[in-house]
Structure 1
């Protein structure tokens, strides 16, 4: 019996060592809030695309109030002009700081848009302006969120964060004019066609159902994990952030539940098996280990989900799904900022965003070739988390086994 206890003890020690080794590598990674001067191709592509969009959105929006006969379109034009003008100033400052060369001239394609809009007036102008601008902003939203979730350059992260916030606001203003055509919700390179007057509808797409399910599962593991971390975390900043996330996941869940009720979607009552393993990893940790585990798992999960939410926000034709995705997008963006503000989020937690399934499905249906995804999936990080969870579970099992045999011996 003593030999068996010794063997169990040795195995327990081995599991503990594996946990410590991985955790040391996990904690020792570069903090995500540390300044990175390297500009990745995806970062540069984001900045160039934003500059190109601003080059024509600013002038056509400046002229919108004088060409429109609709007060809501005039107000939207002013809002978009101011938003993209301020954004362009920040973009140029960031480019100068990072040494990124941006185009100064308007492309021939964008110049043709400026010329076309200059010939339109009245309702003809309003429908064209609302539709074409909304389609452009939808594509920018997805790219900006992708960049915000994955970039390791803090200057670009700040710029992308500002871009997303502005787009969330102005897209809503534009949609509320009632002049956006359904073609504006298709993220393809083809120019949007102005065929209708209003786009608000109750269409139920598989992507809408998938979005609501994903958001529900996210809250089902994040809310209790955040509540527990708000009580048990060692760092006061982590406790505060976790408490705020727990409360706001209630708000997110309510928005999703209401959308599901209106659309007629059955929502899950449990998180996925993988999400349960994340929650268990947090529950089985304590002290600094818990702080790092909670902040990094939460930030990685938020970053993986937010690109799908952004794509849904840009493309859904369902008003309830649009409202839910808008709420989720706003909160996830805020949560990522709060988690990064703890100073504990590591760079490898920013590398878990893939091309979202919704995007893949849309690209397949539209027949367009998928855009290259410069963000990489941190397989090592996921594997490491799995190793840590297994090691922790194995250690716990062995400790219990030792206790059980010890009691039996007595």
Structure 2
């Protein structure tokens, strides 16, 4: 009695621990978790904040500059003749002392500051589009891994059904061998098939582990947890049968195309800024000088400006113009590339859909019934070993073809999403 209780306790602990370490997520829940927890996305979002900080910095005026100089710390008797040459400013401060002060303020001309802000604002848009481009790629990886994991789960169920059937037969034939009713070689064939299916299940487990490792990293899950996708692999396709390449091209929202467009806009803004920099800036000055010239307290104002005789920023203007033209060419190239990828992805999806439509769902269900029927007939010696093994291979191949068709259809659909730059 005590031993039975201990066994029950151990079974409870094992399955309780396993259940606790298993994470079951639908595809929608996984994507929600991905958007919230993915570390690469979090880091990329910070780049937008970085670009916004540069916009804020570009809006600031240059700081004024103050200079205090020409200070004599003391005056000797020989210099003053023992008399008060210069009266103090207040109290005793400033008696017989000379000093000067100057306040400067740089004034940017030709709207340079406004144009610098415009350049940095394009940088904010570029950072936002780079985030979308990263998200687009990571979504494709996430969905591809989930699809692969779902296909492996279905394949595992099919192989487990085959294994259960073979083990049932193997056990029954082992009993018949002991009674001398069947030859040992038939049991050996069944054992070989059992080992082959067990090896395939192990390979499925290894492949599933690799997919789960990548998924858990994308979702920031504990590496020790087991992830299960609860949705079926099969997808509803009725809403996508009327898609056309022209429609997809017209409604596409590709971040990489937008990146190319923003690069062109950026260099147009830089060209405007470099042209504005041809105009020299003005520095305004206010000066105070005590006892430095004919006046005891001199207050004056002034201004300074560079004379644009030699350097009119010609090289930087030409550099920006060339890059703007180059960016325009690259925008055309990226647009053409996007259109080509959309058409190719559409063809891939359409081919996968056409093949998927040729598969009959009723045939898939009948395979399970036939497997049970063949198992019972073989057990009752109504069919031969060769017939049973032949159907076992047919069952496996037919199931795998359907799984591959469902997986291919979903993968091609996600490639179509990726190519169009939006979720269809």
Q: TM-score, normalised by structure 1?
A: 0.28
Which of the pair is proportionally richer in helix?
A: 1
Which of the pair is proportionally richer in strand?
A: 2
